[in-house]
C-alpha cells in the first residue's frame, strides 16, 4: 500500500481554488477501488479515497496559504457520500479494517486541526444524503449546511443495517462536539433512514438547511463569511510539497533523514532519525525558500510516510526500535527557530502542527516502541519526543568499550519544543503526561532545559526507563526485545493503548481509545463479520443471523 500521491493523479477528488475559498469535491470513481470485488457507488469510499483526501488537506495547508475556507461537497447528484463501502468492509481482512478506521480518524482530526490552528475553516456543503462515514466526514467540518429538498438527510445507519458502529468518530462527535442530547443521539443512531430538514437543525445534527434553489449562493456567502474571520495571510506564497524521495526494498525503507531496517527474524524494525547536516537558515525568507527541504518539514513528511507504510504493510513487525543520530545542538537550534516564529509566520506554524500530528500518529500506532539512546544520538527537543513517546527507553551510561574511542557519552536534552508546542491527543505534552501528578518532577525537568543530561542524571529525573552500562546494555536490550516478540500482539495493543494516554479524556482519546477499540472488536465478531453477519448479508435481501448473547 502506497500513501504518496499528488493532485494531478487524483481519481476521486477535485480541488479548485478561488481566492480565499477552496472547494474539495468528492466525485468517487466507481471503478477506482484499491482492490477488485466492489464498486464505489454513491460516493462510497475505501482507503484509496481517503489517501487522496489526506493529501489534499496537507496541500491546502502548505501550498495555499491564501485559502481561508475549504468547502467540502459531493460531486454526485443528490448524494454527498454513502460512507465506507460495505462490500469493501465485508471482504477486508480484520487488520485492513483496523488500519482503515485509524487512518480515516486521523484524516478527520487533521481537518479539525486545520480549522482550529491554521485559520483554514472547513465547511461541509451536504448537497444530498450523507450516511455513515459520509456524515462522519461532514462532522469533521466546523459548519454543516444541508440542502433542504425533502429527500436529503444525514444518518448513522451502521447499527441497524450493518451490526457495527460509526467508527470514525461519528458517535463521539455528535455528543461531544455538536452537543446532541444523549436520548436524541440514541434515537438517531438506531434509525437507518436518518433525519433531514428543520429537525436536523433543531437536533444540532447540522447548522443550517438551505432550499435547493438558493443552495449555490448560500454556500458561497457562508464560505466568504467564514473566510473573513480568518488570520491566514492573503498575499503569502505557498510552498510545494514535492514527491518524497523514498527507496524501499524487502529489508529496508530509506529517505533522506529517516531510515528503517526490517528484521523479519526478530519481528522488529530499527528506525534511525538523523539530525540535519547544517544549522537553520538565519532569516525567515531563506526558510521559505528552502520549502519542503527545510529539515523539520522534511523530517515530518518522511516519518509520517514511514509510520503509515510500516503499520499498513508490515503487520508482523511488532516492535519499533527508535534511534537518532547527529548533532543535538542543530536539532535544538531548529526547534528554537520554530518556537520563536510560530505566532508570526504562517509556514512555521504549519510545520509545528505537522510535527505535532505526525507524533500523534506514532502515539496511536499499535506497535511497541523502544528508544535506544547511545553515543552519537541526538534525542534533543523535538527528537526527544520520540523517546518520550516510547513504551520504554534505555540510555547507555558511559560509552561502549569496543566502540569509537573518541565518542562522547550518550546525552539527552530537553528543549523548548518539549514544553508545549507538541501536545498529545489528551491535550497534554508528553512531559506532562509522563509526570502526571508529579508537579515537582516536572518542575525539576523544566529547570534543566538546554542542559545535556547523561544517563544517571536522566534516570534520576525520570526521563528514561533504564540506564545500563556497557556490561549490561546488550543483555538488557536483548531480553526486552525478545520478551516483547514473545507476547500476544493483541494483548500488547490493548496494554499500550490503555497507558499511553494518561490524564484527561478528550475528543481524540475517546475516538482512538474507546470507539476504535470497540469498533475493531465488533468487526471481528460473527454478528458483523461472520458468514451470516450483517456486513455479508447487506444488500442480499436476507436478514443477518445474530448471536443474541450480551458479552
Q: Which residues contact 199 (CB under 8 A, 6 or more apart)?
A: none
| Residues 160 and 280 placed together within one structural domain of the fold | no
Q: Which cell is 43 given?
A: 460516493
160 plus 287 within the same structural domain: no
Same structural domain, 316 and 278? yes
Last residue of one domain, picked from the residues 442, 466, 493: 493
Q: For residue 375, tell me if it sits in a domain.
A: yes
Point out which residues pair with 211 in neighbouring strands: 148
Phi, psi of 317 (to 5 degrees): -90, 85
pLDDT at 497 (0 to 100)? 85
pLDDT score of 254 more than 80 = yes
Q: Determine the Cα–Cα distance for residues 98 and 16; give it in Å rounded to an integer.
A: 32
- Beta-carbon contacts of residue 302 (< 8 Å; ≥ 6 apart): 244, 246, 255, 256, 257, 258
The position carrying cell 493523479 is: 9
Same domain, 255 and 220: no
Q: What gap in Å lies between CA 500 and CA 411, rounded to an integer?
A: 24
Alpha helices in 118-175 (DSSP H): 133-139, 170-172
The predicted model gives 151-175 an average pLDDT of 92
Residue 343 sits in the same domain as residue 419: yes
Query: Do the domain assignments include residue 514?
Result: no
Distance of CA 197 to the CA centre of its chain: 33
Same domain, 188 and 292: no
Co-location of 378 and 467 in the same domain? yes
Question: 212-245 pLDDT, tens per residue?
Answer: 999 999 999 999 999 999 999 989 999 999 999 9
| Residue 234 located in a structural domain | no
Exposure string for 309-330, b = 16+ CB within 10 A, e = fewer: bbbbebbebbbbbbbbebbbeb
User: Is residue 60 domain-shared with residue 104, that is, in the same domain?
Assistant: yes
Residues making up the chain, counted from first to last: 551
Predicted local confidence at residue 521, as pLDDT: 85
354 and 205 fall within a common domain:
no
What mean pLDDT do residues 56-85 have?
97
Do 270 and 201 lie in a common domain?
Answer: no
Q: Which helix (H) or strand (E) holds 477?
A: helix 470-486
Does residue 186 sit within a domain? yes
From the CB of residue 528, how many other CB atoms can be counted at a distance below 10 Å? 24
The domain containing residue 333 runs over which residues?
Answer: 247-493
Q: Which of 445, 472, 493 is the last residue of a domain?
A: 493
Structure confidence at residue 208 as a pLDDT band (50, 70, 90): very high
Instruction: Identify the H or E element spanning 91.
Output: helix 86-91
Statement: residue 515 has pLDDT above 80: no
Confidence check: pLDDT of 367 > 80: yes
**Same domain, yes or no: 217 and 268:** no
Please identify, among 169, 193, 227, the residue that sits at the C-terminal boundary of a domain: 227
Instruction: Give domain status of residue 238, yes or no.
Output: no
Q: What is the pLDDT of residue 520?
A: 80
pLDDT tens digit sequence for 91-112: 999 999 989 999 999 999 999 9
Q: Which residues contact 489 (CB under 8 A, 6 or more apart)?
A: 318
pTM, full prediction? 0.96
Spatial neighbors of 402 by CB under 8 A, at least 6 apart, are none
Q: Cα angle vertex 175, ends 173, 181, to 5°?
A: 150
pLDDT in tens, 434-463: 999 999 999 999 999 999 999 999 999 999
Q: Is the residue at 385 inside a domain?
A: yes
Given a cut of 90, whether residue 372 has pLDDT beyond it is yes
Report the share of the chain in percent with pLDDT over 90: 92
pLDDT at 149: 94
Residues 425 and 323 occupy one common structural domain: yes
* DSSP 8-state secondary structure symbol assigned to residue 413: B
Q: Do 362 and 322 touch, CB atoms closer than 8 A?
A: no
Examine residue 464 and state whether it is found in any structural domain, yes or no.
yes
Please give the pLDDT value at position 352: 98
Number of structural domains the chain divides into: 2
Domain membership of residue 523 (yes or no) is: no
CATH code: domain of residue 258: 3.90.226.10
User: What is the mean pLDDT of the segment spanning 116-123?
Assistant: 97
Q: Residue 404: what pLDDT?
A: 85
CB 502 within 8 A of CB 436: yes
Handedness of CA 308, 495, 396, 433 (dihedral sign): positive
**In 3D, which of 374, 395, 262, 387 has the Cα closest to residue 316?**
262
C-beta separation of 150 from 197 below 8 A: yes
Nearest-angstrom CA–CA distance, 127 and 131: 12
Amino acid at each position: 500500500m502506497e500513501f504518496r500521491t499528488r493532485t494531478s493523479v487524483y481519481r476521486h477528488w477535485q480541488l479548485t481554488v478561488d481566492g480565499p475559498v477552496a472547494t474539495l469535491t468528492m466525485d468517487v470513481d466507481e471503478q477506482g477501488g484499491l482492490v477488485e470485488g466492489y464498486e464505489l457507488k454513491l460516493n462510497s469510499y475505501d482507503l484509496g479515497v481517503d489517501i487522496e483526501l489526506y493529501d489534499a488537506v496537507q496541500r491546502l495547508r502548505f501550498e495555499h496559504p491564501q485559502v481561508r475556507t475549504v468547502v467540502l461537497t459531493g460531486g454526485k447528484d443528490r448524494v454527498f457520500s454513502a460512507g465506507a463501502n460495505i462490500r469493501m468492509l465485508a471482504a477486508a481482512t480484520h487488520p485492513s479494517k483496523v488500519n482503515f478506521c485509524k487512518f480515516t480518524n486521523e484524516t478527520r482530526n487533521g481537518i479539525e486541526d486545520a480549522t482550529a490552528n491554521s485559520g483554514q475553516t472547513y465547511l461541509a456543503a451536504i448537497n444530498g444524503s450523507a450516511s455513515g462515514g459520509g456524515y462522519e466526514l461532514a462532522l469533521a467540518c466546523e459548519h454543516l449546511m444541508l440542502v433542504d429538498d425533502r429527500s436529503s438527510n444525514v444518518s448513522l445507519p451502521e447499527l441497524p443495517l450493518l451490526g457495527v458502529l460509526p467508527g470514525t468518530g461519528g458517535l463521539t462527535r455528535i455528543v461531544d462536539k455538536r452537543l446532541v442530547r444523549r436520548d436524541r443521539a440514541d434515537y438517531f443512531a438506531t434509525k437507518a433512514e436518518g433525519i433531514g430538514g428543520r429537525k436536523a437543525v433543531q437536533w444540532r445534527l447540522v447548522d443550517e438547511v438551505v432550499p435547493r434553489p438558493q443552495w449555490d449562493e448560500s454556500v458561497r456567502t457562508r464560505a466568504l463569511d467564514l473566510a473573513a474571520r480568518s488570520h491566514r495571510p492573503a498575499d503569502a506564497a505557498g510552498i510545494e510539497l514535492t514527491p518524497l524521495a523514498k527507496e524501499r526494498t524487502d529489508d529496508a525503507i530509506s529517505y533522506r533523514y529517516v531510515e528503517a531496517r526490517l528484521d523479519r527474524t526478530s519481528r522488529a524494525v530499527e528506525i534511525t532519525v538523523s539530525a540535519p547536516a547544517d544549522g537553520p537558515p538565519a532569516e525567515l525568507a531563506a526558510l521559505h525558500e528552502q520549502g519542503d527541504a527545510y529539515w523539520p518539514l522534511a523530517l515530518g513528511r518522511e516519518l509520517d510516510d514511514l509510520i503509515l507504510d510500516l503499520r499498513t504493510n508490515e503487520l508482523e513487525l511488532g516492535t519499533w526500535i527508535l534511534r537518532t543520530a547527529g548533532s543535538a545542538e542543530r536539532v535544538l537550534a531548529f526547534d528554537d527557530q520554530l518556537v520563536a516564529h510560530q505566532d508570526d509566520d504562517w509556514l512555521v506554524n504549519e510545520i509545528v502542527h505537522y510535527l505535532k500530528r505526525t507524533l500523534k500518529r506514532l502515539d496511536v500506532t499499535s506497535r511497541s516502541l523502544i528508544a535506544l539512546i547511545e553515543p552519537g544520538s541526538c534525542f534533543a527537543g523535538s527528537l526527544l519526543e520520540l523517546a518520550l513517546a516510547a513504551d520504554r527507553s534505555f540510555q547507555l551510561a558511559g560509552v561502549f568499550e569496543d566502540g569509537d574511542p573518541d565518542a562522547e557519552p550518550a546525552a539527552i536534552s530537553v528543549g523548548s519544543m518539549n514544553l508545549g508546542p507538541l501536545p498529545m491527543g489528551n491535550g497534554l505534552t508528553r512531559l506532562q503526561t509522563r509526570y502526571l501528578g508529579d508537579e515537582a518532577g516536572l518542575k525539576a525537568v523544566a529547570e534543566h532545559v538546554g542542559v545535556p543530561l547523561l544517563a544517571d542524571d536522566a534516570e534520576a529525573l525520570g526521563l528514561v526507563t533504564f540506564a545500563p552500562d556497557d556490561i549490561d546494555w546488550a543483555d538488557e536490550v536483548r531480553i526486552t526485545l525478545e520478551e516483547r516478540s514473545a507476547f500476544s500482539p493483541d494483548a500488547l495493543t490493548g496494554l499500550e493503548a490503555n497507558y499511553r494516554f494518561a490524564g484527561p479524556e478528550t475528543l481524540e482519546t475517546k475516538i482512538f481509545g474507546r470507539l476504535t477499540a470497540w469498533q475493531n472488536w465488533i468487526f471481528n465478531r460473527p454478528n458483523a463479520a461472520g458468514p451470516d453477519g450483517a456486513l455479508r448479508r447487506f444488500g442480499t435481501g436476507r436478514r443477518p443471523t445474530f448471536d443474541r448473547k450480551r458479552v
